[in-house]
Structure 1
Amino acid sequence: MQEVQQVLTASLYTQQMKKLSRIGELLGLSNEELESLSTPERVIQVKVQVVGPDGKVKTYIGWRSQHNSALGPYKGGVRYHPNVTQDEVIALSMMMTWKNSLLQLPYGGGKGGIRVDPSKLTRAELEQLSRNYVEKLHKYLGSEVDIPAPDLNTNSQTMAWFLDEYTKLSGKIDFAAFTGKPYEVGGIQTRNYSTGLGVSAVARMAAKKFLGGIEGKTVIIQGFGNVGSFTAKFLQEMGAIVIGVSDVKGGVIDPKGIDYERAMAVEREKGTVTEYPTGRKVTNEQLLVSECDILIPAAIENVIHKGNANQVKAKLIVEAANGPLTADADIVMKARGIPVVPDILANSGGVVGSYVEWANNKMGGIVEEEEAKKLIMSRLEKAFEETYKMYEKLSDQDLRTASMSIAVQRVVNAMRMRGLI
């Protein structure tokens, strides 16, 4: 039990380092090269203050990790959450480096966060928080330097505040400095759903390879936020049967299927999908080990670990969240013959959508919604096929190893050519 608890509390950074070490061994990288790859180029810690309605000052800590710029400017989201840590932000920025590399986007990896519970702040306080965060960081941001985007508990409104504050402080009208913006200020229509679109598309590609197709396959999705809900929507349209969904309050399973529109209506009216009128209520832990064809963890990291990996009954796992499987869980799944489509591939639709938005801003706004969707899908299809070919070539490795070996090698090649290692 103590060993399981240690796995559960292990940081995301520790898990990512374990995964990178395995790739380093496979690629024959030296300890010095691994140290360079795992060390961020810059980590900025800032004090972010907000004056409440009562005149009292609230103080929060924020970070921005700029992990690697060998392939281009740093790119990655900003999250607001009471449990954000510096290690988590560094780990996520490292994952963004591999993701952008795998998708052959002209970016390095970055990530930001503020340790705050946004549900306890008013809209005016959230605006203060967002503007003050950019005030502390604006010298390190820009469309050719570091391009933030939404993440956990941030959205297009947050990006609009970021953009406006950056414009005031820098004196630059640079809409490409942030992505995930509202359509009215340079955003694109696909950005809100591009991650869910990508997860569903990659799930369909993987289902075709490993399960004979997506139609009629049963799916469980842990997490019904933006990513999980849109994933459910698109999978339902593809002919899959979503039989289980959950949020922070728990989940529900109905073998006959959970309708996307009905689930969204219940979530809006009741505040939780656990009030879905049919099926049976379950905990998130029970949901993860329930029988299905495809399991999609779309919530938080480290939810599948050494303690429950052997109980998972899915035939295919698609990582919509960042780091939902620990390094030990990867070993268990490989031994059990359960394919795991890794996060850096499965949830990359969001950053591809950001790339389209960034490029559209650079070109002066010429991309329409359908063209943006085609660009996102084509980039995902190419990355999936490259990963699957590497998976077949390696023969005795898993999909994460295949994808990370491609991504890390590209970064290593760029760093060597530039004399960085």
Structure 2
Amino acid sequence: MISEQLKAEANHNKQDFAVETHLSYAQQNNSAWMTYLAQIERVKPFLGDLTQYIDTLKNPKRALIVDVPVVMDDGSIRHFEGYRVQHNLSRGPGKGGIRFHPNVDLNEVMALSAWMTIKTAVLNLPFGGAKGGIRVDPRQLSDAELERLTRRYTSEVSHIIGPQKDIPAPDVGTNPRVMAWVMDTYSIEQGHTVTGVVTGKPVHLGGSLGRVKATGRGVFVTGCQIAQKIGLPIAGSRVAVQGFGNVGSEAAILFAETGAKVVCVQDHTGTIFNEAGLNTQALQQHVQQHGGVAGFADATEIEAEAFWDVQAEILIPAALEGQITAERAEKLQARLVLEGANGPTYPEADDILHRRGVIVVPDVICNAGGVTVSYFEWVQDMSSFFWSETEINQRLDTIMRDAVADVWNKAQEKNCNLRTSAYILACERILMARKERGIYPGK
């Protein structure tokens, strides 16, 4: 008969094997979903009796794949593949963006929906996690084609979205105008205007003030909080930013206004460097006019891979997932990594950064400013009462700072890094909700 000790060792080895398998597969195959599963496996030892419900987090509640036929401007018909995944709804309706990008697939959307589940729970918002997307390069479509694509996709997923079911928002490749088309299409099918079906809408259609800048502001607020705790002064610190859209540009501008030097910025058009610090306001205007950072006059262009060698105290990956590999983690010079993007760091890279003493503020809290103001927008739409931008920013800052404090304190209590701490908090809240709601039908 196997002893209890041998059983425990067998279970421990099985768990280690599962973590290593997920971790290795994630990096070798660029699998966002396997990265997420590896992150969940690492939290299991901290969950006690709630571990019996852990498979709830390993299985999306609902995944929908839709065909999206579109009549193109030349009269031809093209078919696009669309997705909407609702990962977990135990704590409230689904919440998550819609992504238009050539690399969108089910694996990615599942992972992004799962990270939204964790993110809303860490912030203690009354939502679950969801995500949607279409495999398309929106830059290759005319405005009319983009509108037809959006409206047909909305029609295909309209039976599972709604202000009490699942509330989409903008993501990579989408914007307030796209959200207006989603709201209008859904409202037409319902027979009345339903502003609360999406967030991130234009302000005059029920959108919230402060929403566009919220994610970047959240990166800045959480970064300042953690920098203070580790004794890193913002003034004089060098900052490197990957991605200069709404998130990266707003975070860069706020850090520069606080006395930091943004020395390097990378996007899909190139990588620019200025040791004395880039003029972030001028760079934002350049990007708006030219579509990217390449060609900015007051900077030197460097090789893309050289971005990871730049001497900077703060690194902000604010582009796509899977950017910080084990190899890049070994050479990063930053003391503080602020994950403006979703899933930019592989689990193996996370371990390396932790070993090297680099503090990583994980995506599920660092870039949660957007979903927090989306929550404010949803509340305002449901009540038809709207707040000023000053009120929005004050509420956002308070929620973000409280969440950072909770995550920091849990990390100190459990002697773990901030990502594991955030996952412990989120999983406890989600799985407690699962436990209290029970399984229907029962025995």
TM-score (norm 1): 0.96
Q: Which whole-Å deviations, capped at 9, do the CAs of 1:343-399 have from their partners, x for residues lacking one?
A: 00100000001001000111112311111111111110110010111111122x101
Partner in structure 2 of residue 248 of structure 1:
268
Pairwise mapping of residues 278-289 of structure 1 onto structure 2 (< 5 A)? 278-289=298-309
Residues 336 and 287 of structure 1: is their aligned pair in 2 closer, same or farther, counting only changes over 3 Å? same
Q: Indicate if the aligned counterparts of 2:119 and 2:426 stay in contact, CA closer than 8 A.
A: yes
1:296 aligns with 2:303: no
Q: Distance in 2 between matches of 1:407 and 1:299?
A: 24
The reply on whether 1:372 has 2:392 as its aligned counterpart is: yes
After superposing the two structures, state which structure 1 stretch, 342-351 or 262-271, moved more: 262-271
Aligned match of 1:401 in 389, 414, 420? Answer: 420
1:118 counterpart residue number: 138
Q: Which residue of 2 aligns with 1:151?
A: 171
Alignment of 1:98-109 (within 5 A): 98-109=118-129
**2:17 corresponding residue in structure 1:** none
Q: Give the conservation status (yes or no) of the 8 Å contact 2:361–2:418.
A: yes
How far did residue 68 of structure 1 move?
A: 0.5
SS at match of 1:243: strand
The worse-fitting range, judged by mean Cα deviation, of 270-279 and 87-96 is: 270-279
The answer to whether the 8 A contact 1:222-1:288 is kept is: no
Check whether the contact 2:53–2:435 (CA below 8 A) recurs between aligned residues: no
8 Å contact 1:288–1:295 — kept in the other structure?
no
Q: Match for residue 226 of structure 1?
A: 246
Q: Distance between the aligned counterparts of 2:368 and 2:68, measured in 1?
A: 30
Structure-1 residue corresponding to 2:230: 210
- Work out whether 1:390 is the aligned partner of 2:400: no
1:70-92 deviation per Cα after TM superposition (whole angstroms, max 9, x unaligned): 10000000000111010110110
Count of aligned residue pairs for this structure pair: 418
Q: What SS is found at the alignment partner of 1:139?
A: coil
By how many angstroms is 1:31 displaced? 7.2
**Deviation of residue 273 (structure 1)?**
1.2
Q: Quick check: 1:187 aligned with 2:217?
A: no
Native 8 Å contact 1:138 1:170 kept in 2: no
Q: Relative to structure 1, is the Cα distance of residues 248 and 292 closer, same or farther in structure 2, using a 3 angstrom cutoff?
A: same
Q: Distance in 2 between matches of 1:227 and 1:283?
A: 23
Q: d(CA) in 1 for partners of 2:371 and 2:237? A: 27
Structure 1 position 288, deviation (Å): 2.3
> Which residue number corresponds to residue 62 of structure 1?
82
2:282 to 262, 267, 276: 262
Q: CA deviation at 1:29?
A: 6.2
**Equivalent residue number for residue 314 of structure 1:** 334
Residues 1:413 and 2:435 are matched in the alignment: no
- In the alignment, the residues of structure 2 paired with residue 33 and residue 188 of structure 1 have an alpha-carbon distance, to the nearest angstrom, of 36
Output the CA distance in 2 between the equivalents of 1:29 and 1:346. 29
- Structure 1 contact 297–319 (Cα < 8 Å) conserved: yes
Structure 1 residue 361 and structure 2 residue 381: aligned?
yes
Q: Distance in 1 between matches of 2:289 and 2:167?
A: 36
| Preserved contact between residue 318 and residue 346 of structure 1 (Cα < 8 Å) | yes
Q: Contact 2:96/2:116 (CA < 8 Å) preserved in 1?
A: yes
- C-alpha separation between the residues in 2 aligned to 1:285 and 1:48? 37
User: Structure 1 residues 181 and 412 mapped into 2: Cα distance closer, same or farther (>3 Å)?
Assistant: same
| Residues 1:8 and 1:236: Cα distance change in structure 2 (over 3 Å) | farther
Distance in 1 (CA, whole Å) between partners of 2:50 and 2:208 is: 42
- Bigger shift: 187-196 or 31-40? 31-40
Q: Conserved in 2, the CA contact under 8 Å of 1:78 and 1:113?
A: yes
The CA deviation string for residues 24-83 of structure 1, in whole angstroms up to 9 with x for no partner, is 233246876332211011101111111011111010010000011110000000000111
Which is further off, 317-326 or 284-293?
284-293
Equivalent position of 1:165 in the other structure = 185
Aligned partner of residue 69 in structure 2, secondary structure = strand
Structure 2 residue matching 1:60: 3-state secondary structure: strand
Q: Structure 1: which 5+ runs fail to align? A: none
Is contact 2:247-2:318 (8 Å) kept?
A: yes
Corresponding residue for 1:345?
365
Q: Distance in 2 between matches of 1:238 and 1:186?
A: 32
Q: What SS does the corresponding residue of 1:76 show, helix, strand or coil?
A: strand
Do 2:274 and 2:300's aligned partners in 1 also have CA atoms closer than 8 Å?
A: yes
Matching residue of 1:324? 344
Give 1:309 shift: 1.0
**CA distance 1:211–1:243, shift in 2 (3 Å):** farther
User: Displacement, 1:284?
Assistant: 3.2
Give yes or no for contact 2:64–2:84 (8 Å, CA) kept in 1.
Answer: yes
Decide which of 82, 90, 96 is 2:116's aligned counterpart.
96
Preserved CA contact (<8 Å) 2:239 2:314: yes
Matched residue type, 1:223 = G
Q: Whole-Å Cα distance in 1 between the matches of residues 294 and 231 of structure 2?
A: 29
How many angstroms apart in 2 are the aligned matches of 1:5 and 1:357? 38
- Aligned position for 1:134: 154
Q: Which stretch of structure 1 is more off in the superposition, 280-289 or 62-71? A: 280-289
Flag the structure with larger Rg. 2
Would you say the 8 A contact 2:317–2:339 is kept in 1?
Answer: yes
1:155 Cα deviation from its structure 2 partner: 0.4
Task: Tell me the amino acid that sits aligned with residue 235 of structure 1.
Answer: F
Does the 8 A contact of 1:77 with 1:110 survive in 2?
yes
Q: CA RMSD in A?
A: 1.7
Identity %, equivalent residues: 36
Amino acid corresponding to residue 288 of structure 2 in structure 1: R
Query: Is 2:68 aligned against 1:48?
Result: yes
